[in-house]
Amino acid sequence: MYAKLETRTFLAMLVGVSLAFVLLMKPFFGPIFWAIAIALIFHPFQVFLVRRLGDRPNVNALITLTVCMLIVVIPVLVLVTSLVAEGLGIYQQIQDGQIKPGEYIDQVNQSFPAIQSSLAQFDISFGEIRDRVVSLFVGGSQFLAKQALGVGQNTFQFFLGLALMVYLAFFLLRDGNKLVDLLIRALPLGDERERLLFAKFAEVTRATVKGNLLIAIIQGALGGIIFWLLGIGGALLWGVVMAIFSLLPAVGAALVWVPAAIYLAAVGDVTQALVLTAFGVVVIGLADNLLRPILVGRDTKLPDYIVLLSTLGGIAMFGINGFVMGPLVAALFMAFWGIFIREFSEEPQATLNNDEDVG
């Protein structure tokens, strides 16, 4: 009896200390998560180095991390800096009256009066939509301006998070296999289940980060290039915005280039509007339709609608990290239920079959 009390007390304290540790790490959730993602994504490269250079953990981890910094971290930092700078410039132009989003929408309404009459049939006010779009546009540029100011004011915190991510990634690359084995020994779920869940976690993280980011980069680059060729201002900014929207399956970059094409047609640039529409449907859309099932859907084994809903829910709950966390939670949810159905539904079925055989 006393031994059971000791065990229960120990387990209760173990849970309490674990929860306290999670709360302690909460401010560093972003760097920790992306360090884990880097270790998972670049693990195959780490294995390649082990085969070529031998088992030299520190050297292999350092080489892998250097490659990651050169091809991922530094380009992303440069791109984000350029995005914030352009967003700040557009916000300043809006404040100075050089850019007037409301007038652009009014121009579309004047050129295509059928839009307003079509909306009226569904009791939708064009003026209300206009005000919301203008508010969204101004709010977005204001958000970028605040981010630029925030980065300047919190430079130390930003670089602290970046340094922490790189530091953790090094040790996860070096000791990742040992940590996984330790977790498998510690968790009371059964080794087979734990290996399955860890494999699913790694699979979904790799597929979501690699797939979504690669698709976002391709679509954003294609969108920015066509905007630049057509002489549309802020091509870099809109390219990055398209890259961000392309993280959402089914809708994606069309949320940017479709309104741009409509506006070009409204102001009389019909040729440019047709070129942008054709490029958006054939090139940008094709990149999404061809690459996403290959890079994301096939590896995650998730239906498109689950990917879309979990991505939107993840972004709403976890912010920008949610485009990975959402599908990851959904994949683990399906993995847990798959294990439950496979293991706990077989027993009753087997019992039923035995009863039938006896009868």
87, pLDDT greater than 80? no
292, pLDDT greater than 50? yes
336, pLDDT greater than 70? yes
- Decide if 223 contacts 242 (C-beta within 8 A): yes
Q: Is residue 14 part of a domain?
A: no
| Winning range, highest mean pLDDT, from 52-56, 67-71, 282-286, 335-339 | 67-71
Q: Distance (Å, rounded) from C-alpha 272 to C-alpha 264?
A: 7
Distances (CA, A) of 259 to 138, 264, 265, 310, 315: 16, 9, 10, 26, 24
Same domain flag for 290 and 160: no
Q: Is residue 11 part of a domain?
A: no
Structural domain including 224 reads 190-354
Same domain flag for 326 and 213: yes
Q: Is residue 177 part of a domain?
A: no
Same domain flag for 197 and 346: yes
pTM over 0.85: no
Same domain flag for 166 and 202: no
Three-class DSSP category at 246: coil
Same domain flag for 205 and 62: no
36 vs 356, which has greater pLDDT? 36
> 346-358 and 322-344 helices cross at what angle (nearest 10)?
20
Q: Tell me the pLDDT tens digit for each residue of 203-222.
A: 777 777 777 777 788 888 88
Q: Distance (Å, rounded) from C-alpha 173 to C-alpha 49?
A: 12
CB atoms within 10 A of CB 347: 9
Q: Is residue 133 part of a domain?
A: yes
Q: How many domains does the chain have?
A: 2
148, pLDDT greater than 60? no
Same domain flag for 28 and 154: yes
pLDDT at 147: 58
**What's the pLDDT band for 20 if we cut at 50, 70, 90?**
very high
